[in-house]
Structure 1
Amino acid sequence: MLGVFKYTTFVLGNLNTALGGAALTVPEILLPIGLSFLTFQSISYIIDVARGDAQPARRLSDFLAFSTLFPQLIAGPVLRYKDLARQFERRAYTLASFSMGVQRFVLGLGMKLMIADSVAPLADRLFALSQPTMAEAWLGALAFSIQLLFDFAGYSAMAIGLGLMIGFRLPENFDRPYTSRSITEFWRRWHISLSTWLRDYLYVPLGGNRGGRIRTYRNLLLTMVLGGLWHGANWTFLVWGAWHGGLMALERALGAKTRASVWPSLVAWPLTMVLVILGWVVFRAESLGQAIEVYLGMFGAHGIPMRAEQLLLLAPTEALFLALGITISIAPRWRWPDPAWLPALRTAALSGLCLLVMQARTDSPFLYFQF
């Protein structure tokens, strides 16, 4: 079903091109909302039950509730039935969990409205340039990196918050991914529910790290390519998946040599972030041609400084929230006890700010709704 709805147009379009303009009819197929997440969750249910890792749903209503749980249906996290089965029998529905859910929901909404949507115009404007300079290309890629993190992590926080409000504990989906010191670590921190799904239902069944180094590298590459294609029927997503799979294979190949060296630990974080940002370029681009133009710009093919007209278009709020997003995404995790009154005050203040922003802006859908 996912193949028909999501990839038919892509396959037929490429067949027409490969066959020299053959007249295969390319239908206009609308993708049902949440189909990608629904499909992955259904696959995990079937496999887990077949393996004996989960008991079959006792009631049809339990399976339907698992498949269509509305807080996460459109953009995750990707759920597994065994994580929710006990909660169907006894949900921890308390005033404390409801209060915590409201706080998480408002925090996620703030991440989306205050940061992601504030830097989105900057990313869109710079990616639209036909020949960006080095400064413009890197700034656009950095802006999109922050936009995507706070957009998607914000939605996940809202989904987790909604789940708590109705008595469900959904899995965490992000763990400060932009502090990672390797691509492998990045995928342990980014879209955690998807990366563990790919590991358990693709990488391990393909053989995982069994069968020698070459097969391990092949399995990593295949898993990430398929993970890239899950995001969308476009060559850009295939290349993005291959980029991450290739880097993970390279890290596996070099791991034994680099672990004993002090030098890699000094450059691990900045190098990882550069590689992640380079990957986001092709993820964001509408075509491989556009991605190539941005890459050429990043390496100085179209000049180095930011052009005057682009500097004039740079709004103070864009620069402010980009800097804030960078700071939050890489700052150490601090924990200290809050006074009893502070969470409620903080949530109320952020709610008010979000309402003001929503009144001033037009509708801005979450990026992962398209997947």
Structure 2
Amino acid sequence: MLFNSLEFVIFLPVVFALYWFVFNRKTSHQNALILVASCVFYGWWDYRFLGLILMSVVVDYFAGLGLEKATIPWRRKAILAGSLLFNLGLLGFFKYYNFFVDSWVDMLRAMGFAAEHTWTLNIVLPVGISFYTFQTLSYTIDVYRGQIRATRDFIAFAAYVSFFPQLVAGPIERASHLLPQIRHPRTFIYRQGVDGLRLILWGLFKKVVIADSLAPEVDYIFSNYQDVSGGTLLLGAVYFAFQIYGDFSGYSDIAIGVSKLFGFELMSNFKFPYFSRNISEFWHRWHISLSTWFRDYLYFPLGGSRVSRPKAIRNIFIIFLVSGFWHGANWTFIAWGGMHALLYLPSFFLKRNRRFREGVVAQQARFPTAYECWRIAITFGFVTLAWIFFRSPDLGAAWGYLNGIISQGLTPLGSTTGLLYILPLLLLEWHLRRDERSLVISRHKGLRYAVYIIMGFLVYNRMFTSEVQFIYFQF
């Protein structure tokens, strides 16, 4: 079920009414409703995928109980290994099996051996499998580390894994943050509900009005990169940068907003990443739930930066390459991750990778300084070039696209109508840059509601004309 669909417009108020007016006497009843609603929401695509989630829930629920009970180190390691092998095995089979087979066949052909694609399978990728797999893994690992206690409430744990607002595209929640909220009683807070509705509206605006409006131009330019000018190719890359941002951050905003309606607070997933002043700051602002997941469960266990310089560089490449591979079974994603690793190294060598971690651009001033504008522009430019690999179907197309920008010149620019969607988004986000959840457009009530009405009208006008799937559903 898509957030930008008529089905969800009916689904959400029905579940909301049942949650607060029928099942509100006991937390366990509300959790059971969340679980049932999540199954309906996810099963709307294909009910057969529910079996995979159920298996993950059962395996990690009992793995958590086993880890809590076991005292012998080798037994605890064996339980953890079993959970990792099961979850990563499912993810690897459904997402990467054909990739590895095709890569093996290509390598044999390059070596002069005859090989056919006889081992590939017609596998349908379950929606959101990368997200809920990482969510269950974080639970098992945290129990193993002793950072949280294993829960004995199966319904609460199943609701945590399958929580429908963030099930298919995040944020990737930690059990230490979301599970206690599920287990404890909730009360409806008017202020929280209003904030949730604002976030839903803002998320739908970024998805339906911004991202979906840019999508046709992006598709045309990337499909015909050999026949358009270098300026058009550059615009296409910029359009995609904002398409994927509006699409993905829009989903996160809607997920956070819907969760607020049910009394839950999810972690922030985006904090105005295109205002970043270096690549390190970009990764503290983009897909935060994934970048912190890799930091805590991969980068730090490898030693992070507190090792020798060669090992620290190795760790940087590992985390970025794995992050790229997480996004999809294609060499383009690995190249995208590798590019970000290379872009990150200058900040690491100059010890500026933590320089802007908590900073806000032009925190006291109304406008950024010329130096800040320069840093933002350079960072955005490098990020946009990397997005070309992310968007292209293969490495050959990505290199051809880049070559077209370089060799054909930047004129003519082609259609600039996409900028009419990008500029208002940038202005609004600049105004809100100190708090990605406030959405208080103005202190003047009349102006604030006028903006909300305009946004609502634009969303309504475009929402049901074409229900475009969210980009990150494929990951």
TM-score of the pair, normalised by structure 2: 0.71
**What's 2:425 paired with?**
325
Match of 2:267 among 171, 174, 190: 171
CA distance in 1 between partners of 2:321 and 2:395 (Å): 16
CA distance in 2 between partners of 1:336 and 1:102 (Å): 14
CA distance in 1 between partners of 2:324 and 2:196 (Å): 31
Q: Which moved more, 1:348-357 or 1:277-286?
A: 348-357
Contact 2:229 2:410 in 1 (8 A): yes
| CA offsets 1:240-294 (integer angstroms, 9 cap, x no match) | 011112222232113379x8xxx98674222211111111110111111111111
Where does 1:6-25 land on structure 2 (aligned, <5 Å)? 6-20=95-109, 21-23=114-116, 24-25=118-119
Contact 2:157 2:179 in 1 (8 A): no
Match of 1:5 among 85, 94, 98: 94
TM-score of the pair, normalised by structure 1: 0.90
Q: Which moved more, 1:333-342 or 1:66-75?
A: 333-342
AA partner of residue 78 (structure 1) = I
CA distance in 2 between partners of 1:205 and 1:244 (Å): 21
Structure 1, unmatched stretches of 5+, are none
C-alpha spacing 1:44/1:59, structure 2 compared with 1 (3 Å): same
CA distance in 2 between partners of 1:315 and 1:298 (Å): 16
Contact 2:214 2:240 in 1 (8 A): yes
> Secondary structure at 1:206's aligned position in 2?
coil
CA distance in 1 between partners of 2:296 and 2:330 (Å): 25
CA distance in 1 between partners of 2:172 and 2:448 (Å): 28
Contact 1:105 1:158 in 2 (8 A): yes
AA partner of residue 69 (structure 1) = F
Task: Let me know the Cα RMSD of the aligned residues.
Answer: 2.4
CA distance in 1 between partners of 2:318 and 2:219 (Å): 31
Where does 1:107-122 land on structure 2 (aligned, <5 Å)? 107-122=202-217
Match of 2:151 among 22, 46, 57: 57
**What's 1:368 paired with?**
472
Match of 1:238 among 328, 334, 352: 334
**What's 1:287 paired with?**
394
| Larger RCO of the pair (alpha carbons < 8 Å, separation 6+) | 1
**What's 2:18 paired with?**
none
Where does 1:1-371 land on structure 2 (aligned, <5 Å)? 1-20=90-109, 21-23=114-116, 24-88=118-182, 89-131=184-226, 132-255=228-351, 267-299=374-406, 301-306=407-412, 311=414, 314=415, 316=417, 318-329=418-429, 333=433, 338-339=443-444, 346-359=451-464, 361-371=465-475
Contact 1:38 1:68 in 2 (8 A): yes
Contact 2:225 2:404 in 1 (8 A): no
| CA offsets 1:215-249 (integer angstroms, 9 cap, x no match) | 11110110010000000000000000111122222
CA distance in 1 between partners of 2:389 and 2:204 (Å): 27
AA partner of residue 125 (structure 1) = Y
AA partner of residue 265 (structure 2) = R
C-alpha spacing 1:49/1:249, structure 2 compared with 1 (3 Å): same
| CA offsets 1:22-81 (integer angstroms, 9 cap, x no match) | 233210111111110011001111111111111212301111111100000111100000
How far has the Cα of 1:348 moved from its partner? Answer: 4.5
CA distance in 2 between partners of 1:119 and 1:253 (Å): 37
AA partner of residue 9 (structure 1) = N
Structure 2, unmatched stretches of 5+, are 1-89, 356-369, 435-439
Q: Alignment identity in percent?
A: 38
CA distance in 2 between partners of 1:95 and 1:256 (Å): 42
CA distance in 1 between partners of 2:444 and 2:166 (Å): 31
CA distance in 2 between partners of 1:17 and 1:180 (Å): 39
| CA offsets 1:3-34 (integer angstroms, 9 cap, x no match) | 01100010001111111252332101111111
AA partner of residue 108 (structure 1) = G
CA distance in 1 between partners of 2:393 and 2:246 (Å): 21
Contact 1:137 1:294 in 2 (8 A): yes
Count of residue pairs the alignment pairs up: 360
C-alpha spacing 1:139/1:330, structure 2 compared with 1 (3 Å): farther
C-alpha spacing 1:229/1:353, structure 2 compared with 1 (3 Å): same
C-alpha spacing 1:219/1:264, structure 2 compared with 1 (3 Å): farther
CA distance in 1 between partners of 2:99 and 2:261 (Å): 40
How far has the Cα of 1:164 moved from its partner? Answer: 0.5
CA distance in 2 between partners of 1:221 and 1:364 (Å): 34
CA distance in 2 between partners of 1:90 and 1:303 (Å): 61
Q: Which moved more, 1:268-277 or 1:191-200?
A: 268-277
AA partner of residue 405 (structure 2) = M
CA distance in 2 between partners of 1:49 and 1:35 (Å): 22
Contact 1:184 1:248 in 2 (8 A): yes
